[in-house]
Amino acid sequence: MNKKHGKQSIVFASPPQVAAAATIVGPMEGEGLLAAYYDKILEDNSGDQDSWEKCESYMIEWAMSTAVKKSGLTLEDVDYILAGDLLNQLMATHFAIRSLGRPFLGLYGACSTMAESLIVGAILLDGGFGGHVLAGVSSHHDAAERQYRFPTELGVQRPPVTQWTVTGAGAVLLKAMAGNDPRVTTATIGKVVDVGLKDPNAMGPAMAPAAAETLWQHIQDTGRQPAYYDLIVTGDLGVVGKTLLIQVMQEKGLDISANYQDCGCMIYREEQDSHAGASGCASSAVVLCSHLIPQMKAGKLNKLLFIGTGSLHSTTSYQQKESIPCIAHAVSLEM
Amino acid sequence: MPQAGGAGDDRYFNKWYEAQYNQVKPKPPLVKNMLWAFVVGGLICVIGQVFANYFVDMGLSKKEAGVPTTIVMVFLGAFFTGLGVYDELGRRAGAGSVVPITGFANSVVAPAMEFKREGFVFGVAAKMFVIAGPVIVYGVTTAVLVGLIYWIRH
């Protein structure tokens, strides 16, 4: 049976379900809009570890073990771990998974990795290759700053279009067994889209066309209109990228403004001075795991389209004056 | 109707999109930023002047007083970077705290602190000049060129 629909989408035959989800965040996120929903808030940015990178590893490990614990299973029941982060060679993920001791596939989709890992995990489960998949991502503001931008103590002024990398991690435990939990019903795998923007400070605007492309293709492939969903969320387009996505969809003749939100605009308060919102792998992950999935389980949200957005540049590529290639993957969760 | 070009090769869409982006791109609060830069930059210079006057009172000539003043200001820049204050200042004051010599000290101390975990050789020492390095290279080069012109003309 062919589960592929249209050009880029998958409709799962026996939709895998979300057994449990867990989140951990840094102190700044812990003072933000979703403060009440996170499982754990660190007291400082180091989490009692001696480097930012170790702190990030600790967070992803904590989120993954907690998701497993919440579902009442043990790590032994997990058939595969799918995870990734923003650091070179997936440093945070690899050191975290080392101690979890389960079969592991590392994924890199920059900030789209949460959606990517959910899609690959759902494919594995729907294909009958296992019973449980653990999918998770992490990012750390200071670890990302020192890799992509400047040392954290350098006195620089950030342009207003920049976004603030989220310190945090989120993990989802997917199961193949049927139950009364949110189901992963469809997915649309994105293509790399590059509209030629070069400013690494403006990642939301660079990623919005990729999100538009994937959303458009999802609608074509599945025949669902934007109004089909209670909520469409993108990962980390930020204030500016969000406005641009609405404009691009409007040009295509689709109005999404009624039921569209961006995770990057749901984390920080205005006075926290994050500028254009949140970004990073954890931006979409902590909103999905702490807020959206629990809302679905509580029956307040029935049909969700989750679009992870990633900007695939590197420090080398922007120093060589290349433009920013971007990607977006969509996955629908339904009760 | 513009299409989001698959491989990003749709020039019409890209142009339209860039125009949209430039329209919604947030502008920096120029007046506020300039005010901050003026006040903070000015204050740093006032502090420098206080020390310069002090060294003149101690019996140094105006020209000689420049050296100990610079030393004190570099120390203060490094010290407040270490306390984690200078980046907060720079976030608001921009060029007001980057241009004075305290900003130069900040640009050396910040990477040195950040890369301490990579060790004293490949971390602190190697990374210390990643930001200040270009300033030193082009500063010295310009000084040599100007010196050469001066030497030829006299």
What band does B9 get if pLDDT is binned at 50, 70 and 90? low
Report the residue of A87, A146, A157, A265 to disrupt the B interface, i.e. the one with the largest count of B CBs within 10 Å: A157
Which helix or strand (DSSP H or E) is residue A20 part of?
strand A17-25
The region, left, alpha or beta by phi > 0 then psi within -120 to 50, assigned to residue B94 is: left
pLDDT in tens, chain A (335 residues): 789 999 999 999 999 999 999 999 999 999 999 999 999 999 999 999 999 999 999 999 999 999 999 999 999 999 999 999 999 999 999 999 999 999 999 999 999 999 999 999 999 999 999 999 999 999 999 999 999 998 989 988 999 999 999 999 999 999 998 889 999 999 999 999 999 999 999 999 999 999 999 999 999 999 999 999 999 999 999 999 999 999 999 999 999 999 999 999 999 999 998 999 999 999 999 999 999 999 999 999 999 999 999 999 999 998 999 999 999 999 999 99
Which helix or strand (DSSP H or E) is residue A134 part of?
strand A132-139
* Beta bridge pairs of residue A11: A186
pLDDT at site A179: 85
Where are the domains positioned within chain B? 28-153
Q: Give A101 or B8, the one with higher predicted confidence.
A: A101
Q: Which of A152, A157, A195 sits opposite B94 (nearest CB)?
A: A157
CB A204 within 8 A of CB A237: yes
Residue for token pair 């540049």: A313
Residue in chain A closest to B9 (alpha carbons) equals A195
Q: What is the C-alpha to C-alpha distance for residues A319 and B128, in angstroms, rounded to an integer?
A: 19
CB A329 within 8 A of CB A207: no
Which tokens belong to A63? 């989120």
Which amino acid would we find at residue A286? V
Residue in chain B closest to A201 (alpha carbons) equals B25
Is A194 within 8 Å of B97 when comparing Cβ atoms?
A: no
Is A253 within 8 Å of B1 when comparing Cβ atoms?
A: yes
Is A243 within 8 Å of B24 when comparing Cβ atoms?
A: yes
Residues of A with CB under 8 A from a CB of B: 50-51, 146, 150-161, 191-197, 202, 205, 209-210, 212-213, 216, 239-240, 243-244, 247-248, 251-253, 276, 325
Catalogue all structural domains in chain A, each as residue range(s) with its CATH number: 4-175 (3.40.47.40), 183-334 (3.40.47.40)
Kindly provide the residue ranges of all beta strands, DSSP E only, lying in B10-143, ordered along the sequence. none
Nearest CA-CA partner of A169 in A195, A135, A193: A135
The DSSP call for residue A177 is: S
Is A155 within 8 Å of B98 when comparing Cβ atoms?
A: yes
Q: Is A135 exposed, middle or buried (0-12, 13-18, 19+ CB in 10 A)?
A: buried
Q: Is B11 exposed, middle or buried (0-12, 13-18, 19+ CB in 10 A)?
A: exposed
Is B13 within 8 Å of A202 when comparing Cβ atoms?
A: no
Is A160 within 8 Å of B17 when comparing Cβ atoms?
A: no
CB A33 within 8 A of CB A148: no
Nearest CA-CA partner of A97 in A120, A64, A74, A51: A64
CB B2 within 8 A of CB B12: yes
Q: Which of A152, A193, A239 sits opposite B114 (nearest CB)?
A: A152
Residues 6+ apart with CB under 8 A from A138: A56, A57, A59, A60, A63, A83, A85, A92, A93, A96, A168, A169, A170, A281, A282, A285
Closest Cα in chain B, distance from residue A155 (Å): 4
